[in-house]
Amino acid sequence: MRLITIPISHYCEKVRWALDHLKISYIEECHSPPFHLLVTPRFGGKTTPILVTENGTFLDSSDCLKYLDSIASEDSKLYPDQVELRQKAEELQELFDEQLGVLTRLWGYSHVINNSKLVKQAWCRNVPWIERALFPVVFPTTRNLACKKFNITPESSLEAREKIQKIFEQVSDILADGRLYLVGDKLSAADITFAALAAPTIAPPEHPTKRSLDEFPRIMAKEINQFRKTPAGRFVLRLYRERNN
Ligand SMILES: N[C@@H](CCC(=O)N[C@@H](CS)C(=O)NCC(=O)O)C(=O)O
């Protein structure tokens, strides 16, 4: 399988996690914005992740997980068997995909988008040398486009933070009865989706970016610490510790 990514993308991280969890071997092809746009249309898409398989190409992270589930062995399914539980997992996944992922991206970028050093580290990990070399040339325009596209402003960042806190509260409430996973008694697509899409606000030490908290701007690190202290934040830290074990 081939996984086409913008490596920092948390939607890509979600699919990477599912592949690793299922112990499926794959090649990750990393691109930095805007160079992904030279690659994704070849597969009929625009955004990343794109998963290329012998049974077809999947252009959305949840479609990738559903495909991976369909080929997973009975004991390592990503979605619960039981209809009600599966429905719950899909509902949570949709909430995280449609809201949490969009909000954490906005919040994360609002803290770093004007810092070309941090953005370069984030965008250029494992990408072809030519994309890395052209980063200084494309960064100003790409940054402006990203700010416009994701509506990154101080006000929207504050609003995003509040909405993320609300979703964290929802997740903390689900976990309040002491359960280990959001749905059912083992790791499911709902957990992977939550942890991967929440990761920009938690910066788990085991995350593939291997960022430590002192590399982030001070205010961002302070807010990450606040997110980490919530039950939902501690859940993300635990799932990352257990990842690949
Ligand atoms: N719903 C999509 C969202 C994917 C997405 O937004 N990917 C972003 C990276 S975080 C992307 O590739 N953006 C580049 C672009 O819009 O050109 C999914 O779950 O796969």
Tens digits of residue pLDDT in 225-241 = 999 999 999 999 999 99
CA of 61 to the centre of ligand 1 (A): 9
Pocket test for ligand 1, best of 10, 32, 38, 47 (most atoms within 8 A of CB): 47
Instruction: Give the mean model confidence (pLDDT) for residues 6-22.
Output: 97
Asked whether residue 69 falls in the same domain as residue 87, the answer is no
Please check whether residues 88 and 71 belong to one and the same domain: no
DSSP label at residue 196? H
Specify the CATH number for the domain of residue 7. Answer: 3.40.30.10
Total domains present in the chain: 2
Q: Report the pLDDT value the prediction gives residue 209, as an integer from 0 to 100.
A: 87
**Whole-number pLDDT of residue 176:** 97
Domain that holds residue 18: 2-76
Q: For position 206, what pLDDT does the model report?
A: 93
Residues forming a β-bridge with 130: none
Q: Give the Å distance between the CA of 197 and the centre of ligand 1.
A: 12
Please say which residue of 39, 61, 76 terminates a domain: 76
- Same-domain pairing of 64 and 97: no
pLDDT at residue 92 tops 90: yes
Query: What is the arithmetic mean of pLDDT over 186-194?
Result: 97
pTM: 0.96
- 56/171 same-domain check: no
What residues contact 209, with CB distance under 8 A and at least 6 apart? Answer: 7, 8, 122, 125
Specify whether 52 is located in the same domain as 152: no
196 with 99, same domain: the answer is: yes
Both 98 and 205 in a single domain?
yes
Per residue, the 3-state secondary structure of 150-186, as one string, reads CCCCHHHHHHHHHHHHHHHHHHHHHHCCCCCCCCCCC
Task: Tell whether 116 and 187 lie within a shared domain.
Answer: yes
Task: In whole angstroms, give the CA distance from residue 161 to residue 79.
Answer: 29
Q: Using a 6 Å cutoff on CB, does residue 121 contact ligand 1?
A: no
CATH code of residue 162: 1.20.1050.10
Tokens of 152: 């990154």
Same domain, 134 and 61: no
Residue 159 CB–ligand 1 contact under 6 Å = no
Residue 174, pLDDT score: 98
pLDDT of 137-189, one tens digit each? 999 999 999 999 999 999 999 999 999 999 999 999 999 999 999 999 999 99
Indicate whether 228 and 115 sit together in one domain: yes
Q: Indicate the residue among 32, 54, 76 that finishes a domain.
A: 76
The answer on pLDDT for 244 being more than 70 is: no
List pLDDT tens digits, range 62-81.
Answer: 999 999 999 999 989 999 99
Question: Which of 76, 94, 125 is the C-terminal boundary of a domain?
Answer: 76
Q: Kindly report the average pLDDT of the chain as a whole number.
A: 96
- Whether 190 and 66 have beta carbons less than 8 Å apart is answered as no
Residues 65 and 132 in one domain: no
Query: Residue 228 has what DSSP assignment?
Result: H
